[in-house]
Amino acid sequence: MEAKGEKRSYAFRVRYAETDQMGIAHHSNYFVWFEAGRSDYCRDLGVPYPEWERHGVFLPVVEARCRYKSPLRYDELATLEVFPVECGAAAMTFGYHLRHADGKLAAEGWTKHAFADAEGRLIRGGNEFIERLKSAIFSA
């Protein structure tokens, strides 16, 4: 997926609890890392996720994908690149590249999030806060 806004990178180390018996990062953790990176990305742009919720905007995941290329291992330093991909009237998609310390691609993926209210109903256009978010994220 192609970035439609600024890419940001976040380094982390694979923890023991995130690995299986062979010392390889368990596949489920990749989505946890994607979420942490997305939260940091929004915070860095000045629109932290708690502010979204205070304005009644929630981002449930409606689609997710991860393609595993090369396994990450216990105590390995990795870098997650996060970037916006697209934004429609009722949803936003973020892309992710997860890299080994040497830059080799470990995994790539994306998550698509609906704009919803606290009851889970879609918010479609006309929301001032969502328009501000789009502007902040896609003009970064």
Are 30 and 98 spatial neighbours (Cβ–Cβ below 8 Å)? yes
CA-derived radius of gyration, the chain: 16
Sequential DSSP letters for 34-82: HHHHHHHHHHHTT--HHHHHHTT-B--EEEEEEEE-S--BTT-EEEEEE
Q: Which residues are catalytic?
A: 20
